[in-house]
Structure 1
């Protein structure tokens, strides 16, 4: 998902930074599953939130780790779209010891990476050539037509995808969510990274409050998070904590306006 924020300029800047600075991979030990995505522009207190969540890994939708580097938490780079799909970026990531990279962000969404399947397949060898473990494009619908066509193209061309990245924004039905994750794993027969998920009410707005209260979201998390920890095919997951003013997701945020954890954030930190 990731809310609109002049992505092209940010990604072009990231490309320059990663090619000229010593990117630090982060923790040397293999991290646990729990992660978090933190968009830097809307989270100037990103470091406080990262440490407060007690995350094992994090990402920023960009290719370079933010400064100051948090060496205790693994940073996972992302090649967000065609503007950051640069061989030099991938080369530097490999040289600096990054062993995993996330693929395109929501290429099936008009206001995100927005790529045709053909263009994504054309660019994919650039990501593959790095030799770094490679996550699939993270689609709005990992079980939708775009992803299905892309993965069939990958198979036909003999390309490499090492794990499936997926997003999920739905109601608080625990069984439906867990069943969907399992179905995607079974269909593609690959490990799963859930790189964005939370409870969402897409009809919520200023005039119509979110149907899912914070307590309902808490109950969802209390059941779902331990299940994700137990399932071997789920390698990693990252709860999406949107800006608190964004109505469809505002009852799923992990942090108060001052960056301190709310009760959802406290639960997430305890996992």
Structure 2
């Protein structure tokens, strides 16, 4: 075979390989997995293994600062201080330090839904949250990026954006690198976009959406519209659907996995793809 023929075949093979190789989107890096620490006796980190072939997924969190079990490799971990209760604060600093040994850690998250009592909310007054944030979160600011408490999209004087405005004002000497939103509503993408835009314009900081879900309607279609939009907004840094766990008949939300917890469902496929 001539050198010219060999060169031609080599270039053809290279071209075929290039066309077949998967290409990451330019926005890759925002999408993360929120998973339960435990789910009916199963370590929630187990479910992350189902996402190992999806390059869009780059980070994870479990509403705590400790992971049980073995998560998929290669994801950044973001510790969270759920509340100011002893079960959360005891060992917080040590848990963050240990997490840094086992995973890439560059950010931490403050309290989970302090503007809500029940339903996973930490039910904290603004003054209590400021005191605890300064004691437990602020000391990490020299080495990690700090998120605000995550608030619901509730509408009221002590809910959602209004609660967080009061917190930011009272904690004006705190380092807050990004603000954190949760959003649950029907499948109207325009409402979702409008709320997050308002959230960003209120605080003029990067936004993380660490929980969002559809309570009524077509979740996969909703995701197909809002994911590209979030990826295009430079001010939205990260987001995670609620959640990487088996869907149950008891919840109005569809999670990312089927009821058996052994495969992605239609929502999971729409989110990860």
TM norm. shorter chain > 0.5: yes
Q: CA RMSD in A?
A: 2.1
What secondary structure, in the 3-state scheme, does the structure 1 residue paired with 2:39 have?
Answer: coil
Give the 3 Å change call, closer, same or farther, for CA 172–65 of structure 1 in structure 2.
same
- Judge which range, 101-110 or 50-59, deviates more: 50-59
Normalised to the residue count of structure 1, the TM-score between the two structures is 0.75
Considering only CA atoms, is the larger Rg found in Structure 1 or Structure 2?
2
Q: What SS does the aligned partner of 1:221 have? A: helix
Deviation track 1:90-145 (CA, whole Å, cap 9, x = no partner) reads 35525736321110001111122111101011111121112221111011237433
Matching residue of 1:32:
29
Partner in structure 2 of residue 9 of structure 1: none
- Unaligned 5+ segments in structure 1 are 1-30, 202-211
Q: In the comparison of the two structures, how many residue pairs are matched?
A: 222
Deviation at 1:73, TM superposition (A): 1.4
Change (3 A) 1:69 1:265: closer
State the Cα deviation string for residues 159-203 of structure 1 (Å, max 9, x = none).
1111111100011111110111111111101101000001114xx
Match of 1:130 among 134, 140, 165: 140
Which of 252, 261, 264 is equivalent to 2:264? 261
- In structure 1, the residue corresponding to 2:168 is in which secondary structure? helix
Q: Is the 8 A contact 1:172 1:220 kept in 2?
A: yes
CA 1:92–1:49: 2 relative to 1, 3 Å: closer
**Structure 2: any 5+ residue segments left out of the alignment?**
1-27, 154-158
Q: Which has the higher strand share?
A: 2
1:246 aligns with 2:243: no
Secondary structure at the residue paired with 1:196?
A: strand
Distance 1:46 1:146 in 2: 30
Q: Is residue 38–residue 44 contact of structure 2 (8 Å, CA) maintained in 1?
A: no
CA distance, structure 1, for counterparts of residue 43 and residue 123 of structure 2: 29
TM, length-normalised to structure 2: 0.75
State which of 41, 45, 54 in structure 1 corresponds to 2:38: 41
Choose which of 89, 92, 96 in structure 2 pairs with 1:89.
92
